[in-house]
Structure 1
Amino acid sequence: MAKKVTDKKVGVLMGGLSSEREVSLASGEAILKALQEKGYDVVAVDVDRDAAEQLRKLGVGVVFNALHGTYGEDGAIQGMLDVLGIPFTGSGVLASAVGMHKVVSKVMFKAHGLTVGPYAVIGAKERGAVKSLPGDIGFPAVVKPCAEGSSVGVSIVTNQDEFDPAMDVAFRYGDDVLIEKFIAGKEIQVGILGEKALGAIEIVPKEAFYNYRAKYEAGMSDHFFPARIPDAVYRRTLEAGLIAHRALGCRGYSRVDFIVNEGGDIYILELNTLPGMTATSLLPEIAKGVGIPFSDLVEEILRLAVA
């Protein structure tokens, strides 16, 4: 057996308190199994509000973070682990917080020369005064919470009658709602590992867009790796993914989501600092496409945390 990257007990953080709990459990179980197969001393930690005490009692020396959503990928758990002095996988406090907030990350992407589509932000205090879609966006549009993942609370609206209900749904998940112009094109996602863009995968959802079901139910979307775009555009998309990763100061790994239109223009949508690691997740699929088995991907992410 190859030399392990750490002899410390690895705690796989999963579950948690967010709307993405079930996805987190699926990611965590897959990671746990992979590390067990590699011979690591590893324990599952279903995180509650006493996470620090849980880790202390279990004697965890390094954390593999599989907590999606609020508290897990917004900088909260990262800050706690920093205070405890426990190394952990993935991005740190600042990159996690910025990556989780879709509007702040858009500002950063734009500042680094990436193309961002038209958007508007509506706060809870403005909700009552906003009765129609901002004029410079137009239909169709995408309405989503500013700080949720896994497409939770996301709607595509094609007319005014759909706008208000979509806003109501999005506001269930936070005090700020992001409204984006819908950009027609291919959904392309770039996987980043270490300081390298592994590749780009194309997603063709069988529903209106790449929603929660399409992401986590087998057979709800078709995947094409490598993405079916011209070679020059493919290379530029990989470069854009790496620029986004560095712009937010990400660490270890990430997944960057783009739309590429018919003219080859590349629009960045968002960056996920804690990509899913389930059986249908895209980063593992990209890694597999370039010859990296799932268990090796998991071990490399762990190595980057303790290096």
Structure 2
Amino acid sequence: MIVEDPVRRGKGYNERILNGGMNVEQLPAPRGRTHNGSRHGACHGRVAIRPSRRPQSMRRGCRTPLFTQVPPALRTLEQSFPCLEEDDVRIAIAHNLRVTDDAEETVFTARETVEYLTSSIARAGHAAITLEVSGPVESILRGLREHDPDLVFNIAEGWADSGRQSFYTALFARLGLPYTGSGPLVQALLVNKHLTKLVAREHGVRTPGWRLVTEPRDPDLSGLRFPVIVKPNSEGTSAGITQKSVVANPAEAISHAFELLAQYTGGVLIEEYIAGRELTVPYLAAVDNEFGGVLEPTEIVLDADAERAYNILDYGFKNYRRLPVSTSAPRVEFQTPARLPDGVARQARETTRAVVHALGCLDIARVDYRLGADGLLYLLEANALPGLEPGLSIHRAAQLAGLDPQDGVVHAVIASAARRYRLEAL
């Protein structure tokens, strides 16, 4: 069953959040279901969720597992999975729907991806609820009260600033709602590339040298190796990155950083440019393998192009479909598994395991690297909400781990979240 939430947002979202929010304390006290346990300790029940509307007969009797067919890669978790009645589980897909080509909606979710997720959840035997969360707080709360989800499948990116993702998970946590993926603190950490690099470096992970620019004052760039790449600190989907982002000297770097600083309030990174190969490594906590859920690396291979002086995944590469019609599709190959020496592939997976544990990622993540000409791996960033649209390399990597190529990723995310919250038949 798929339930469509009619709430849509318009412009001025931030102002409506500030001026139109509903006080959570005004909502009715929880009288209905609760869930047992969480990563942070005992759960005190739900806030703002009405009593269950399901008949008592649906909450008793024979129970079926969350998945009637458990993939081999997940079988060691089978005994840990809650027993949920197949038709008695409501999963709300919290998302920001992309409806325009505006730059601020670049990280939002396409309608086709939402449709894929609803179908995947329905194929697991659950009720899929689409919950658009770009509007004011009261509309989000109204949707949650109306649909009363047992689990929130969270892919909400949010609008501006470094707290855009963590707003939603903080809200779900305050309401006592189980949700998939990392919590608000981890999301805020990963959105901030500077902080991610600091944590990674503290744990012995190699990352290109860098400086963070937060104000229009000349930074000290001594010790950095040029060329460097100048990019926003807290943006996604390569926003603010073009072929002109790679510069050869300090004067150009500072000038470009100040230009970006006028557009992006989260600061700007001036980072050593690593000429080499682009690798991305996904993580699924539910997968049982020798790398703790880290899947096969993918190499993103861009064909040589006279108009692309540098082998970088810039804004034009990731968003060419939403650029002017004259923009041609980039020639690219996603190689999964990446054609790497065994030692490098193993190192990428072991490093990713160390990174996701150090950062505190839950359920799903992705870590991006450069493999330099020196043969060394350099961490670029980590992502708590990697893309899930069909055709992405994470699905191929999951298939190589023994999961279903169509639904394995989505079902694995649900499985690990269900285990963490110890969800029971409701």
TM range (shorter): 0.7 to 0.9
Deviations 1:38-61 (A, max 9, x none): 332011111122222221122222
Determine if the alignment matches structure 1 residue 210 to structure 2 residue 313: yes
Encode CA deviations 1:111-145: one digit per residue, 9 max, x unaligned: 1110011100111xx31x33x88343354322222
1:162 Cα deviation (Å)? 7.4
State TM-score, norm by structure 1.
0.88
The correspondence of residues 154-303 of structure 1 with structure 2, limited to 5 A, is 154-155=241-242, 156-159=245-248, 160=251, 164-165=255-256, 167-169=258-260, 171-194=262-285, 195-206=292-303, 207=308, 208=310, 209-215=312-318, 220-292=331-403, 293-303=405-415
Across the two proteins, how many residue pairs are aligned to each other? Answer: 302
Cα distance change, pair 263–224 in 1 and its aligned pair in 2 (3 A) = same
Q: CA 1:29/1:288 → structure 2, altered by over 3 Å: closer, same or farther? A: same
Give the Cα separation in 1 of the matches to 2:149 and 2:316: 34
Query: Partner residue of 1:14?
Result: 95
Alignment check: 8 A CA contact 1:9 1:42 kept: yes
Contact 2:107 2:236 (C-alpha < 8 Å) held by counterparts: no
- Aligned AA (2:153): F
Match of 2:132 among 46, 54, 65: 46
RMSD: 2.6
Check conservation: 1:31, 1:298, Cα contact below 8 A. yes
- Structure-2 residue corresponding to 1:121: 212
Which has a greater percent of strand? 1
- Picking from 180, 194, 218, the partner of 1:89 is 180
Q: For residues 231 and 391 of structure 2, what CA distance do their matches in structure 1 show?
A: 23
Give the corresponding residue for 2:66: 4
Whether the 8 Å CA contact 1:74–1:99 is kept in 2: the answer is no
- Give the percent of matched residue pairs that are identical in Structure 1 and Structure 2: 27
For structure 2, list consecutive stretches of 5 or more residues without a partner in the other structure.
Answer: 1-63, 68-83, 99-103, 286-291, 322-328, 420-426
Instruction: Give 2:299's aligned amino acid.
Output: E
The amino acid that maps onto 2:313 is: Y
Matched, 1:108 2:199: yes
**Does 2:239 match 1:152?**
yes
Report how far residue 188 of structure 1 moved: 0.9
**Unaligned stretches of 5+ in structure 1?**
none
Describe the shift of the 1:220–1:150 C-alpha distance in structure 2 as closer, same or farther (beyond 3 A).
farther
> Is the 8 Å Cα contact of residues 69 and 148 (structure 1) preserved in structure 2?
no
Tell whether the 8 Å contact from 2:395 to 2:408 is kept in structure 1 after alignment.
Answer: no
Structure 2 residue identity aligned to 1:168:
E
Cα shift at 1:227: 1.1
> 1:49-99 deviations in whole A, cap 9, x for unaligned?
222222112222211011235578632211110011111111112211111
Structure 2 letter corresponding to 1:134 = L
C-alpha separation in 2, matches of 1:294 and 1:86: 27
| Cα distance in structure 2, aligned partners of 1:81 and 1:16 | 19
TM-score by length of 2: 0.65
Letter in 2 for 1:13: A
On the 8 A contact 1:20/1:69 being kept in 2, the answer is: no
Corresponding position of 1:36: 122
